[in-house]
Amino acid sequence: MTSKDATRDLFFQQDSEIQIRKHVERSLEIALSFLKQESNNKIHSDLSLPDLEALFHEVEIPALGLGVEKALKQSVEKVVKHSVHVSDPRYIGHMTGATPTFHMGLELLIAAMNQNVVKIETALSGSFVEGQLLAWIHRLIFNKHSDYYKARMHKPELCFGNVTGGGTMGNLTALAVARNKKIPRCRDWGIFEALERMGKRKVGIYASKRVHYSIRKAASVLGFGTQSVHEIPVIPFTNQIDIAALERVLTQHQAQGILPLVIVGVAGSTETGSADDFMALSALAQRSGAWFHVDAAWGGPLLLCEQGRTLLKGIELADSVVMDGHKLFSIPMAQGMVLFKDESALDVLRHSARYIIRAGSVDLGRTSLEGSRRFDSFKLWFAFWALGRKGYSQLVEHSLQLGQTFAKLIETSQTFQLTSEVKSNIVTWRYVPARWKARLDSLRASMLQNKSESARDSTLQQLTALLNEATVEIQKIQRQNGKSFVSRTTLESVLPGFDTVVFRAVLFHPLTSSQTLTEVLSEQKDIGQSVMARLWPRFETQLPGWDSPTLDATEN
Ligand SMILES: Cc1ncc(COP(=O)(O)O)c(C=O)c1O
């Protein structure tokens, strides 16, 4: 493809229809083949990372175009074949997954319209879609009267929140508002001078050890430094923030003249799905004068069902809440939201320019940190119309049910140990040899009562080292086998004093079933036995009194 005319013909003209249909049909064919996993029935491609990297070796922009058909063919070989099958029901390792099939068509529409929702002159109806979506989500959290929303939903001077590129941008926005609210004139003077005039040198941002790293990122971007984020221990096993520990830190910091800026609660923590005690956090925020933010990027959609509302009780006390569309709402990448209880809170980030977002306009860019933005709100707005509250509540109830089913399968198995309490839809566990399980369970129970003694126990250190190594290996082998995918993380809250490597499943695929979960465990059990047989000789002498785990091979 070289001629100027051929390039121009790629843009829409009244007679482009045949060409567009051809491209769309071909892309659809490729998409369906990808979804059916026709080229490879594995979740991950077999190609090693170095081999994959080698596919992208050219350092020059192609001088001449291949033309659309050849470029598509090449993309299938280089890209599509080596993309991850996140929509497979056996892919249960992360928060990215399957989306309802109508989104493929919707993405086409979004691309065709190519709205830029930064301003009404490039979005028009899109601006109102976003305003309405934000009002719906605000109501889901803060639950004000319908008249309240009718009167405010599309007012230029008010704003319930922003649609963002995801949870990270949402958390950054919430913390930027907290900063500008709690440190007067910070926006004009900058934090050094504004803090100095308050007689302060440091601020504190408080969250549990389960907090998502985007909070640390936001703290550093906003000029406070990552050290301003104080990670408070969690209650072992439940993974909820230790309220008494937070209270002690706040008292200490206030005595030291540190400004308590933000208290962050987590609604569905990334690693364990835990939810903090929002009532207690809100009371502490009020007492200390801190902003109260809840990161519900994962767990927010649980508000659509009764059980979820109970779990997230008190979330409505937050000053700001982040919730993602591209996680539990099953919307394609990328779409998140940040909501503010007070619809004038975003005033502290308001901007204007001479050519757009003029004073008094309803341009969505008036309060967003991002500039040009895709019309991503359309996807969740449409999905609400298509599925309704009912459809979504069924989806989130299924995810909670999967959490309970999996927890039970693990607890009743001979070879696995549950490593965190399951209140929602994220489960962590580890492989333990059958003949050690009862002993390890009672060890954990006694350790939770007397942590300091056990942390010094060298046998326990060796045991943890062995099981950690086994967990890493089992997870890698299972991923390479490609029949299913679970992720892994390291938690300090399993056995006090020990960092424990655990498997992690994020359960929300509507087609994941208890059969899927049984198969995941069954494969892990087989891999676990061979991994243990390999590792045991290295640890045997350091673990006197512990039977060889290889004896499990003959057991059920
Ligand atoms: C609790 C929580 N907050 C924030 C984020 C960041 O979201 P994103 O990756 O959409 O920026 C995540 C991502 O996993 C998360 O789990």
Confidence of residue 269 (pLDDT cuts 50, 70, 90): very high
User: What average pLDDT is seen over the chain?
Assistant: 94
Is the C-beta atom of 270 inside 6 A of ligand 1? yes
Mean pLDDT, rounded, for 184-196: 95
Question: Sheet harboring 203-208: ordered strands across?
Answer: 161-164, 336-340, 320-324, 291-295, 259-266, 203-208, 229-232
Is the C-beta atom of 424 inside 6 A of ligand 1? no
Mean pLDDT, rounded, for 344-366: 88
pLDDT digits (tens, 9 = 90+) for 95-150: 999 999 999 999 999 999 999 999 999 999 999 999 999 999 999 999 999 999 99
Longest distance between any two alpha carbons in the chain, whole Å: 81
Confidence of residue 449 (pLDDT cuts 50, 70, 90): confident
Q: Which residues are within 8 A (CB) of 191 and not within 5 positions of it... i.e. 6 or more apart? A: 179, 183, 222, 223, 224
What pLDDT sits at residue 1? Answer: 52
Using DSSP, state whether 129 is helix, strand or coil.
helix
What pLDDT sits at residue 552? Answer: 61
Single-letter residue type at 142:
F
Separation of alpha carbons 11 and 483, rounded Å: 42
What pLDDT sits at residue 446? Answer: 80
**Ramachandran quadrant class, 262 (left: phi over 0; alpha: psi -120 to 50; beta: rest):** beta
Report the candidate in 214, 233, 317, 333 with the shortest Cα–Cα distance to residue 274: 233
Tokens 């892919």 identify what position? 91
What pLDDT sits at residue 455? Answer: 56
Report the candidate in 353, 359, 549, 369 with the shortest Cα–Cα distance to residue 469: 549
Is the C-beta atom of 314 inside 6 A of ligand 1? no
Separation of alpha carbons 425 and 517, rounded Å: 13
Atom of ligand 1 nearest to the CA of 334: 10
Give 353's DSSP letter. Answer: -
Q: Which residues are within 8 A (CB) of 454 and not within 5 positions of it... i.e. 6 or more apart? A: 443, 446, 447, 460, 495, 496, 497
CB atoms under 10 Å from CB of 491, counted, come to 24
Tell me the CA–centroid distance for residue 220 and ligand 1, in Å: 17
pLDDT digits (tens, 9 = 90+) for 500-513: 999 999 999 999 99
Tell me the CA–centroid distance for residue 328 and ligand 1, in Å: 11
Tell me the CA–centroid distance for residue 335 and ligand 1, in Å: 11
pLDDT digits (tens, 9 = 90+) for 302-342: 999 999 999 999 999 999 999 999 999 999 999 999 999 99
b vs e for 269-280, b when ≥16 Cβ sit within 10 Å of the residue's Cβ?
bbbbbbbbbbeb
Q: Whose CA is nearest to atom 16 of ligand 1?
A: 270
Confidence of residue 276 (pLDDT cuts 50, 70, 90): very high
Separation of alpha carbons 241 and 231, rounded Å: 9
Q: Which residues are within 8 A (CB) of 507 and not within 5 positions of it... i.e. 6 or more apart? A: 92, 399, 402, 403, 406, 425, 426, 427
pLDDT digits (tens, 9 = 90+) for 460-503: 889 999 999 999 999 999 999 999 999 999 999 998 889 999 99
Report the candidate in 379, 331, 325 with the shortest Cα–Cα distance to residue 170: 325
CA angle 405, 409, 413 (to 5 degrees): 170
Using DSSP, state whether 262 is helix, strand or coil.
strand
Atom of ligand 1 nearest to the CA of 326: 10
Separation of alpha carbons 481 and 226, rounded Å: 38
CB atoms under 10 Å from CB of 332, counted, come to 17
Window from 126-130, 150-154, 182-186, 440-444 with minimum mean pLDDT: 440-444
What pLDDT sits at residue 317? Answer: 98
Select from 298, 302, 335 the residue to mutate for testing ligand 1; criterion: most ligand atoms less than 8 Å from CB. 298
What pTM was estimated for this model as a whole? 0.96
Atom of ligand 1 nearest to the CA of 296: 1
Report the candidate in 165, 122, 168 with the shortest Cα–Cα distance to residue 331: 165
Single-letter residue type at 51:
D
Confidence of residue 5 (pLDDT cuts 50, 70, 90): confident
Establish how many alpha carbons lie within 13 A of residue 116's alpha carbon, considering only the half-sphere containing its beta carbon. 10
